[in-house]
Amino acid sequence: MRGRAPVRLCASALAVFTAFPALAQGQAATLQEVVVTASRNDQLLGSALPHTTVISREDIERSQASDLVTLLQREAGLQRTQNGGVGSVSSVFVRGAPSLQTLVLIDGVPQNKQDASGAVSLEHLMLDNIERVEVVRGNVSAIYGSGAIGGVIQIFTKTGSSVPAATLSLEVGPRASRKISGAVSANLGNTSLSAGLARLTTDGFSSIDTAQLPSANPDPDAYRNTSSNLSLVHRLFPTHSFGIRVMQSEADTDYDNAFGAPADLQTSTTRLSQTTLFTDNTWGDWRSRLSLSEQSDKSRYQDNGFYGSKDGFTTRATVLSWVNTVGLGDTWLATAGLEQQRQHVDTSSDTYTTYSQARDTSAVFAGLEGQLGQGSVQLNVRHDKVGDLSQSTGYLGYGYPLTNQIKVTASTSTAFNAPPLGYLFAPGYGNPLLKPERARSRELGLQYEHKKQLLRATYFDTRIQDQLNYDFSTYSFANIGRTHNSGLELSYQGSLGAGDVRASLTVQDPVDEITHQRLARRAATLLSLGISHPIGRWRLGADLQYSSDRPDAFGTVNTTLAAYSVLDLSVSYRVAPTVLVKARLDNVTDKKYQTVYGYNQQARSLYMGLTWTPKL
């Protein structure tokens, strides 16, 4: 997508909007979905200036997806890669940005690891204990700090409900797949409680395609995951409360090593955990939240082959955050806050030199949002100090209503990503002189919102410099990369009769500005279409995912991964008010495709389950 392509894309977006006959008339929007991540404050989804989407608990249940990575792939601008089946190493590119440049939050706490990957263990985050997911695309470091170049994915765990509730779910599938989960929610006086526990096991399939990588063991790769969450909130007064949230995910994974031998066995264990203490207080127009969190990712790997090893790392962060919001009149909100982190990484190995490093980070941030003339404005500034590195970032966005239903938006922003501790200090290939990656982005959007219909088109242009790459001439990390991505995102959610429809289209051009080649594993075109339709006690669902071809490389092999389309179908039947029977058929056409060279994806698979919600 070069030359006049961005202009053609914008023209195409305008053509899409003109297809709606109610474009210039009708009542104000009634879509009442609320988001938090776009500005740190509650706002209606249609009022958010950054391109934001929400995956609600209802969406999660209707999708029948079991893990976060599968759920995210249907969102505009998001692309999934996975080294095999459920539980295998996974990444999500947001606007072409890798995991290192995408900030993942769980209940506001950053999850990006401090080892030499800097990624997030997304593959071990199951959906049973997740209430909703919000995705904000584009540079938002001015709100959340390091890592938010591609955007922010924020996961909200379940909290207590106003009425007692309980659920028990069972699911079975091919390859001895089993899942059982249960949750309870209650309000005990001024204390709300939510707790959940889920267990997933599967014998799996062979991750590696041995026709391409014949050295790997062709045995099935099993996966086991136990996840849990607990939320306790006590209300002292209507405007003052405090609480604790705890989440944990423990996973055991069998995986394949492409450089091993067919009889080798490789296994890993991962334990993700997070505990947050918080207090929420309101005095008139001033709202304040103070929180203290401890987040950790502990992983161990064992290879019994000729070049076998036992390796591991523990990365953790202690985060103290204070966020304040003050209402200024009827139409303005001011936000200000402080954040302090202690980041740490510790490694173990019987074959490599180990290391243990820590650093302190601090940040001060402020924001202002409200009405300016007939439009709305959002301004955010932030200064971060990460170890010896300092960086300031900003965001300025404006939205102007053309009619009651149509709004045009524009923004400019800067972002950065500090190198993880592993990039700086790993023996042999770390580089303590690394600078932060820096990014600048511009966006122009057009939004149509009417009743329960929300359609948004966003043209974006992002440049990243001082990108962190491995330098094969020095055998260490270095700031030698420059990338550019521009494109168009279309997202839609709404109703078609009694059914619910979600759709997205991404057309982009993520390129390396030095080689002028498209970035590895990035697709130029992504398409997702989903519909869920009730018929009496039945509900039918269908999801279609499309990705265009992508360049990839492995060793001396330079190849192009073929384009693919994958169709999933689902059905549920309400046997009784408290009993729901469900089934889903993944990869209906049994499509053979790859998101990473040499690694298989799931064949056609049928899963069946039951959910019981007893009356309490």
Question: How many structural domains does the chain have?
Answer: 1
Burial of 538 (0-12, 13-18, 19+ CB in 10 A): exposed
Question: By the 8 A CB rule, do 130 and 155 touch?
Answer: yes
pLDDT, position 10: 42
Nearest to 595 by CA among 73, 214, 67: 73
Residues of the chain with pLDDT under 50: 1-30
| 3 state SS of 164 | coil
pLDDT, position 31: 53
Nearest to 492 by CA among 6, 43, 35, 53: 53
Longest Cα–Cα distance in the chain: 71
Residue 44 has φ and ψ, to the nearest 5°, of: -65, 145
Query: Could you please report the per-residue DSSP string of 96-154?
Result: TB-GGGEEEEETTEE----SSS----GGG-BSTTEEEEEEEES--HHHH-TTTTSEEEE
pTM score above 0.85: yes
Q: How many CB atoms lie within 10 A of CB 467?
A: 22
pLDDT tens for residues 390-416?
Answer: 999 999 999 999 999 999 999 999 999
CATH number at residue 270: 2.40.170.20
Q: Which domain holds residue 599?
A: 5-612
| Block residue for tokens 């996974």 | 90
pLDDT, position 25: 32
pLDDT, position 14: 40
Distances (CA, A) of 420 to 153, 224, 464: 19, 29, 17
CA distance 442 to 411: 6
pLDDT, position 19: 40
